[in-house]
Every structure is written in C-alpha cells, then in structure tokens.
Amino acid sequence: MISRRHLLQSGALLGGASGVAQQGSGIEVLLQTRDTKGTPSTSVRRIDPTKTAVFLVDAWHYHWCRTWRNRAGSLVPRINQSLDGARKLGMTLVFSPTNAMRDLNESPQRKNTLALQEYALPKLADLADPYPSSIRWGMCECGLGDDCHYTNNVNNQHPDIRMTSADYIALTQQEAYNVLKKQKIQHIIYTGFATNMCMWGKPTGMKFMRQFGFDCMVARDVTEAITRYAEESFNPTRGTLEVIEVIERDLGPTLSMERTLRSAGAWEGEPVLDYVHIAPWGRFFGSPVYPIPIQAELTCRHKPDAELRYTLDGSDPTAHSALYQSPIKINESLRLKAAGFQNGQQVTRVSLAEYWKQPRTPPPPQVFISDLEPVQEWTGEPKPGTYAKKKPAKFNRSVDGGILSSRDNKFFKGIGVQAPSRITFALKPEYRRFVALVSVDDECMRWDSPDGLKQWPQWSRSIDGITSYRLSQITFLVAFDGAQSVRTPALFNGDKSWGIDVEIPAGAKQIELKVEDVDSRITDAHGHGDWLNAGFLS
C-alpha cells in the first residue's frame, strides 16, 4: 500500500497554502485492481484534474425496494463531500439521472448540456462485457417475506444532492460525449447507483464511455451495488464488496474518492458522513407469507472497525447502548436505531428503520361508511408548482373515478381521496367498532405525464414518452371527537393494504378519517388513498 508520506514525497499534495492542487498541476491517484485469483494490487497514476470528469449516475431518491432505497440514500452525504472536493480540484461534474428528469428539464445544468456543440460519435470499440449475469441484476434486499418489487420506480434525482450552475446533466451517449469533448476530458471517475447495473450499462455508463476511449475508474466508496439479502448468509454490504471485486478483476481499476481528495488537499477534517446499514432497512412483516419473526443485520463498510450499537425503543444510540453481535430478531412493530462508535465517540450518523407487523384483515362491516352522508369534507389545495389538481373525495370509486383497486384487488365499497384529506361522519350509539382496509390506489402506479412535457431522450435514440410514475407516500389516521386513535405506517405505491379494526369509545359523537402526505420532498404530493370496505360493526 502507498502511504500518505509517500504521496507527500512524490508530490501528490500540490498547490499553495490552501493545500488544494492547482489546476493543471496534476494529482496522484492510488488505483486498485485484482488478478484472476482475486488478489488485489495497487498502482499510482498521475492525472490532471482539469481533464477529469466525475459522473454521478442514477442517484434517484426512490426505488421499488425499501432496503435499497434507504441504503442508496444513506450515501448522499459522502457523495456531496466528494463532489465538493472534485470541484475544488477543477474536475467536471456530470449528473446522469436517467428516467428521473421531470423536475430538472429546465435546470441550469441541463441547459449547459443542451447548449453544447454536437461532436461526431466515434464507433464503439465493441469491448467484451465480462459482467456475470448472476450479479448483474438486483433484486429485493429485504429478505424473506413479501417482496418489494410490486411497487414502482423513480421520478427525480435525490433532492439532497448538491449541484452548481457550472455542472452538467447528460442522459445519452451523445450528450455525455459532447461534454467530455468540450471539456477536453481524458479520465472519468464513476460514482452512483447501482454499481452492477446503471452505473455500468446505462448510455452514459462505464461500459460505453470506455469503448469511446476514455480512461474510466470507479470510486468504490461512492457507489452501492444492488444484490440481495438472505438471513445469516448474505447481506447487501457483502454484495457491494463482491461486485467491486469483480470490477477490479475484469473491468477496470477502482479508487477511494476520500483518499484521492485527501491526498490532493481537497478533503479536510473528519466529517461524520456515513450511516450504519440495516438489512432489511424497515419493512412490513407477519403476513401469512412469512409469519415468523424477521431478522435485522447491521453493517458499516465505510467504518469497518466501529462498534455498532442500537436501540429498539426509538431513542438515539449511545456508547452504552446494546452492542450488535448477531442478527436482531424482531416480532413486533418497533423503531430500530443504530450508530457506530469508536473509543466511545460516535463516528456515524444515526440510522433509523421502522418495522410494522401486519395486523389481521378485519371482517367486513355491517354498515358501509360510503353509504352514509358525511358531516364535513375537506381536500387540501395543491402546493404551488405541483402538477396536481384539487380533486374531491369519491364514494365507491377511486378519486379519478375508476374502480377502487389495491394490488389488482378490486373493491366496490369504499372512499377514494386525494391527500391531504379529511372526512367526518356522525356516529350512532349502536356502532361498536370501525373497520377498514387502507391503501394507495393502483391508479398511482400508472405511468404519468402530469406536466405535459415529453421526456428528454434517455438513450442513444429519442423517446417521446411519459415522464414518471406518480409516486405516493401517505398515512391514514382515524380520530374520534378530535382524539387520534389510529395512525398507520406510511404506505407507498403497491404496498399491501393495511387493516384497521378499532373499538369506538363509548359516547363518541363523530369519526374523522384523515389521509396525510409523508415527506413530499421524495414523493409527489397529493397521493390517492383508498378507504376500502370501511364501515361499522355493532
């Protein structure tokens, strides 16, 4: 291994008092590869940062797998730290959020790219694709039980990723090539998701840019693969490490972005950037498919020597919290928090995973609430700048007027609403229990073109198509005479319907059914919620 002292002696730390390499002076990078037996080796190469681009591929804020969505999102602080350091060195930043462009169509970064001269694409070198199919395609990383894959995909780049007006957004081979030629780029450092899928095989990915003759490297500390989770035998952290080994053996060198930037004086201090990874990172469980307790595993590949400590009561872990030594068995709804510690000091951020044990499916009501007249109805106004139009509740239909539908199960009794929503009904003395199934309606799983814009071309050919899924994340609440009695977990598109069976307090006069948006930063506001087979039992 090459020491920091060696890098100093060999001129890796260049520049003036700021410690940042001067543009054009060159920096040294420590590259890692593997031989056919998997044995790693390192070499030092000098590159000009002003002729180097950093590609961030598919840093979406949504994915159909909960564990993957949280794991990818946990990398955002390290991504931002890396991008800030790359800019200090004069590197070119290219963002490639394919399939996730609806809110970035008019961004400065997009306009920068579209304003460029178009250069003739060279012929692809037709290099072999050695990625084994066994690890190329990801799957649900939540382990045994109900797979996440019923839910849908993406609608924007993660909102916490920092871009500047000098950056670029490129979606096609042609657009990426235009940026690279304009900036006289020779080297590309790849970051983003997923290491074994989009970062490799998308039009702007390493598979194609290396065939155009660019020197391509993978920042192994600023990427995550999507693989799988099998209790006590295989976790997603192991999956990422194995994919990185395949890259180093068969595809190209990797580097540590943190080490590279530190050696060049563009990464200062010891910022707390990383999270403990949890598998599964929150989930519903306890259904007939998988009725036994689930197991949660903790890892932290960026801080491998840290003690991982956790709590199960929702409180933040301390250096005295339970020490993680084996998979945590979970058989009730709870909030797990985890953090890493070294010498009694917290060295990671706090990770949170919520687990919800599925309730039993309630019996059908004797009186359907959709057959009653409400005392009061309210639907929230769409937020400025959103595509949503205000839609009142519909009885025995979805809010768009279709058949009420949850994961292809059709219902003919219920209320379809647009979040946020509140509906109040009077209670009769003979009502003893309120029952319902609640769900995001399947109409939120259709491809949508809400703003009327054609999707920007994603591949090497133009696609005039719809722009995104209408992603919903909503929670359902039941209150009696203003006092909250039930709050469901946040439900996404395609989640199984959640059962509600609650006793009505003696003497209660009114019941209020509420639906609220959850974290509209990462989903479209105004999700469509259904109160299915909702009503009363005497």
As a whole number of angstroms, the distance between CA 169 and CA 189 comes to 16
> Quick one: pLDDT band at residue 137, thresholds 50, 70, 90?
low
CA nearest neighbour of 75 among 224, 220, 194, 297: 224
Cβ(110)–Cβ(306) below 8 Å: no
> H/E/C letters for each residue in 195-231?
CCCHHHHCCCCHHHHCCCCCEEEEEEEEEECCCCCEC
User: What is the tens place of the pLDDT at every residue in 457-466?
Assistant: 443 333 343 3
pLDDT for 286 = 85
What does the pLDDT read at residue 218? Answer: 97
Confirm whether 48-252 and 367-537 share one CATH topology. no
Listed residue (323, 200, 318) closest to 254, CA to CA: 200
529 touches 439 (CB < 8 A): yes
Six-digit token pair at 127? 């290099």
Q: In this predicted model, what pLDDT tens digit does every residue of 271-326 receive, in sequence order?
A: 999 999 999 999 888 877 677 789 999 999 999 999 999 999 999 999 999 999 99
pLDDT at 437: 98
Higher pLDDT, 8 or 319: 319
Q: Is 141 helix (H, G, I), strand (E, B) or coil?
A: coil
Do residues 67 and 281 touch, judged by C-beta distance below 8 A? yes
Band of pLDDT at residue 24, cut at 50, 70 and 90: very low
Instruction: Indicate yes or no: pTM above 0.85.
Output: yes
Structure-block tokens of residue 88: 């200090």
Cis peptide before 420 (omega within 30 of 0): yes
Type and span of the H or E element at 474: strand 473-480
Distances (CA, A) of 377 to 383, 418, 425, 514: 19, 12, 9, 10
Residue type, 99: N
The H or E element that residue 7 is part of is helix 4-9
In contact, 395 and 415? CB cutoff 8 Å: yes
Q: Which of 315-344 are b and which e, b meaning 16 or more Cβ less than 10 Å from the residue's Cβ? A: eebeeebeebeeebebeeebebbbbbbeee
If DSSP codes are grouped into helix, strand and coil, which group holds residue 522? Answer: coil
Quick: pLDDT tens for 406-458.
988 999 999 999 999 999 999 999 999 999 999 999 888 765 544 433 444 44
Say if CB 297 and CB 327 are below 8 A apart: yes
Joined tokens for residue 277: 């990874």
Kindly calculate the radius of gyration of the chain based on its CA atoms and give it in whole angstroms.
26
Residue 82's H or E segment, with its range, is helix 76-88
* Closest alpha carbon to 204 in 98, 84, 72, 61: 98
Contact between residue 410 and residue 525 where contact means Cβ atoms under 8 Å apart: no
Exposure letters 149-159 (e unless 16+ CB within 10 A, then b): ebbbbbbbbbe
Residue 230: Cβ within 10 Å count: 13
Domain segments of the chain as ranges: 48-252, 277-357, 367-537
Which of 3.30.450.40, 3.30.56.10, 1.50.10.10, 3.40.50.850 is the CATH number of 48-252?
A: 3.40.50.850
Query: What is the predicted pLDDT for the residue at 524?
Result: 63
According to CATH, the topology of domain 367-537 is: Jelly Rolls (2.60.120)
